[in-house]
Structure 1
Amino acid sequence: MEKHSITHVILTGGVGSRLWPLSRKSQPKQYLDIFDGKSLFEMTVDRNSTLADKVMVVGNIDNCHLSKKVLEKSNTKYVDIIESTPRNTAAAIAFAAFASEPDEILVVTPSDHIIGEMERYEEAIQEAVEKAVNGYIVTFGIVPTKPETGYGYIERKGDNVVSFREKPNQVSARDFIAKGNFLWNSGMFCFKAGVLLEELKIYAPEVYEKSKLAWENNSDGNLDLAMSMDIPSISIDYAVMERSKKIKVVSSQFEWSDLGSFESVYDYLITIGHPVDENGNMVIGTNNYTAFIGVKDTIFVHTDTANLILKKEFSQDVKNVYNALERDNSDLLN
């Protein structure tokens, strides 16, 4: 197989509102050091360092200094794209594609996921690169291990995508698992930069034109605020994946979690030996002696300015607290 230049594009835009109060605007979850002493962002850089020739980071004005710190620590050269305001994944991925040669293969990954079983992961990347070389836009689907309601799903037939499904309720999630041809949508992609841009131009022309304009006027990778505000804020799934005829899915069985909620963080921390008491209660963020009485499967999250106490199964509801604080314009989100 001919050698193609592979660029690892790391998307770092998210705030992780369901992990408040650990995750804040000034220290989003991908930079927290609660995962084995390394941040998720650093683990993402490490995991792909042998698979790609180049690194590109699409971040924003609030977090680019945090990425820089990690990349300088490992002496990694990278292309820095700095959004002045978050415009969702369609624009973020468009910027990366505009910054690349049309024939370059881009492997696009979020910066806040946990991935295990590297052999399977590398096989999936190789398979995706081969499909991308042949002009397909590849999305990575994970074989589900449980009827998870916190993830979107990909319905597939072989390596063809039948449909993309939003986060399901419990009944639909069980139904998906029973059918057996549904995969978790990992939010990872692989494609030639030029192919992605052609499809974006066809299916989301306004995103294409306005991202192009913003990119052409960048200064040192920094994007202009007014031009960015003009770009429609839509996801790459909605802009391209659900519409294009060039989509393939690679189905994989590596361990994967987007750590989007305290329940998934709890499950992960248990695998690395984080202590829980005999009723399944866990403390995150402090070594202070903490006693739980009369409760079980409860998580106590401590930070200097805010504490959170929740039953594990209600972890999707943390975003309601975040949204309420946002409405009050609270300093506790910063």
Structure 2
Amino acid sequence: MASGHRGGRAAANAHMPGFGGKWRMSAVVPVILCGGEGARLWPVSSGDRSKVFLETPDGRTLMWHALNRAGKFASEKFILSVTNEAFAFRVRQHFLSSASTGLGMATIMEPVPRNTAPAIASAARFVARKFGRDTIMLCLPADHITRYEPGLREAVAKSIDHAQTGEIALIGLPPTTPDTAFGYIKASNEQVLQFVEKPPADAARAFVESSQFLWNSGMVVSCAGVLLDAFALHAPDILEVTQASGRAAESIMIDGIEHISLPLATYERCRNISFDHAVLERSQSLKVVHADFQWQDIGTWESYAALNPADAQGNHVAGGAVLIDTKNSIIHAQSRTVGVAGLKDVIVVETGDAVLVASRGNEEQIRDLFEAVKRGGHADKLPAYLVKKE
């Protein structure tokens, strides 16, 4: 990876949308990552449905908020999204209905999900070709809730400073609960010492008590060229396949949005691997910015339910539900009335084509259930890309 890489398009005292002052920086293109299956939010997140389209308490969706958040940092008046081709129509709908007026947009459509490493590599190729290798990419997962924007702006500004010197900047937040569903970063000041993914409960409790550990927010800030160089060094196979996919991609404009369809025959050869595992854990050019803003990764029913206050019995209820003698439960009904009686500490989810009943605190079992559905007799009801071939 090239060291000392500086943004050649930096402009002195250029005003940045979303920032409270004037900053010297390169062009910034937000990249929204919205291709995950969301297995632990099954059955709401499944098939051609994604967790990023879940409603938030204000009646909007995670994707709507992600688009509006990204637009505040789009110095080039442009947003890029990377999503599964099954979600592209709804991504376009959300962009057209969002407050990101006056912005351009492109959507890279993956024919099969391959995790965040191929998604970011594909995005880096697009940004480098359209805006230049020195353009800074602000990679933002779509399945997050952030409420304290001044702290977010400050963290992004610090991350851009690091990106301008050829580094890959991550945004970390001090853990407030021993959450075993999150990734953690062990840090000394801004130096990254270790990545820990989904630790056991005892380790997570120790991380909360330690001042050395941060939650890994999944937000990445770096120049497109630096990211491409990092893939060339640490994951050349992913770079090779995504470059080939990009060259063979088909592009079409719909409602003023460029839709880039990657070819299945090429893209399916990508390893299914996260950016953390493929690149970050091997890189020596990392910095982690200690941030201070409200943040929540919406990856489980526990985290999604927490967006709504519990009733007097500790229940989080969405949709039409009738409860009798039910406590500390999560009830989510989309199309029918759900009745629950005499139970506690359960999750009950109804979507019209599937029903989930599980005990609370077993998010990984919900993931296992999702995988079992894909392998089992109901696989014919899922899109082909979700069906495992034995």
Shorter-chain TM range is over 0.9
SS at match of 1:162: strand
Counterpart mapping for 1:142-291 below 5 A: 142-220=173-251, 221-270=260-309, 279-286=327-334
Residue 35 of structure 1: how far off its partner (Å)? 4.3
SS at match of 2:161: helix
Equivalent residue, structure 1, for 2:110: 83
Residue 282 of structure 1: how far off its partner (Å)? 3.7
Residue 32 of structure 1: how far off its partner (Å)? 2.5
In structure 2, the gaps of 5 or more residues are: 1-22, 252-259, 318-322, 384-390
Is 1:29 the counterpart of 2:51? The answer is yes
SS at match of 2:68: helix
Q: TM-score, with normalisation over the residues of structure 1? A: 0.93
Residue 66 of structure 1: how far off its partner (Å)? 1.1
The 3 A distance-change label for structure 1 pair 211 and 291 is closer
The 3 A distance-change label for structure 1 pair 329 and 14 is farther
Counterpart mapping for 1:36-75 below 5 A: 36-53=58-75, 54-74=78-98, 75=101
SS at match of 1:92: helix
Residues 63 and 91 in structure 2, CA contact (< 8 A), matched pair in contact too: yes
Q: Deviations over 1:62-109 (max 9, x none)?
A: 111110111122354202211122222111101111111101010001
Amino acid in structure 1 at the alignment position of 2:193? V
Residue 139 of structure 1: how far off its partner (Å)? 1.1
Which fold has the larger relative contact order, with Cα–Cα distance below 8 Å and residues 6 or more apart in sequence?
1
Alpha-carbon distance between aligned partners in 2 of 1:234 and 1:222, rounded to the nearest angstrom: 20
Alpha-carbon distance between aligned partners in 1 of 2:353 and 2:36, rounded to the nearest angstrom: 21
Residue 155 of structure 1: how far off its partner (Å)? 0.5
Residue 174 of structure 1: how far off its partner (Å)? 1.5
Residue in structure 1 matching 2:343, options 282, 290, 295: 295
Residue 144 of structure 1: how far off its partner (Å)? 0.4
More helix by share: 1
Equivalent residue, structure 2, for 1:112: 143
Residue 190 of structure 1: how far off its partner (Å)? 0.3
Equivalent residue, structure 1, for 2:362: 314
Residue 314 of structure 1: how far off its partner (Å)? 2.2
Equivalent residue, structure 1, for 2:125: 98
Residue 13 of structure 1: how far off its partner (Å)? 0.8
Residue 333 of structure 1: how far off its partner (Å)? 4.9
The 3 A distance-change label for structure 1 pair 271 and 185 is farther
SS at match of 1:208: helix
Residues 261 and 316 in structure 1, CA contact (< 8 A), matched pair in contact too: no
SS at match of 2:305: helix
SS at match of 1:22: coil
The 3 A distance-change label for structure 1 pair 289 and 203 is closer
Q: Deviations over 1:251-308 (max 9, x none)?
A: 1132222211111112122289995578333422259765543322333222212222
Residue 208 of structure 1: how far off its partner (Å)? 1.5
Residues 146 and 295 in structure 2, CA contact (< 8 A), matched pair in contact too: yes
Q: Deviations over 1:145-186 (max 9, x none)?
A: 111100111100000100111211111111222222111111
Residues 335 and 351 in structure 2, CA contact (< 8 A), matched pair in contact too: no
SS at match of 1:190: strand
Amino acid in structure 2 at the alignment position of 1:231? C
Residues 33 and 39 in structure 1, CA contact (< 8 A), matched pair in contact too: yes
Alpha-carbon distance between aligned partners in 2 of 1:116 and 1:105, rounded to the nearest angstrom: 24
Alpha-carbon distance between aligned partners in 1 of 2:311 and 2:65, rounded to the nearest angstrom: 15
Residues 142 and 251 in structure 1, CA contact (< 8 A), matched pair in contact too: yes
Equivalent residue, structure 2, for 1:17: 39
Task: Name whichever of 229-238 and 270-279 sits farther off.
Answer: 270-279
The 3 A distance-change label for structure 1 pair 296 and 80 is same
More strand by share: 2
Q: TM-score, with normalisation over the residues of structure 2? A: 0.80
In structure 1, the gaps of 5 or more residues are: none
* CA-based RMSD: 2.2
Alpha-carbon distance between aligned partners in 2 of 1:66 and 1:288, rounded to the nearest angstrom: 24
Higher alpha-carbon Rg:
2
The 3 A distance-change label for structure 1 pair 209 and 269 is same
Alpha-carbon distance between aligned partners in 1 of 2:92 and 2:339, rounded to the nearest angstrom: 39
- % same residue: 32
Alpha-carbon distance between aligned partners in 2 of 1:199 and 1:271, rounded to the nearest angstrom: 45
Alpha-carbon distance between aligned partners in 2 of 1:125 and 1:329, rounded to the nearest angstrom: 46
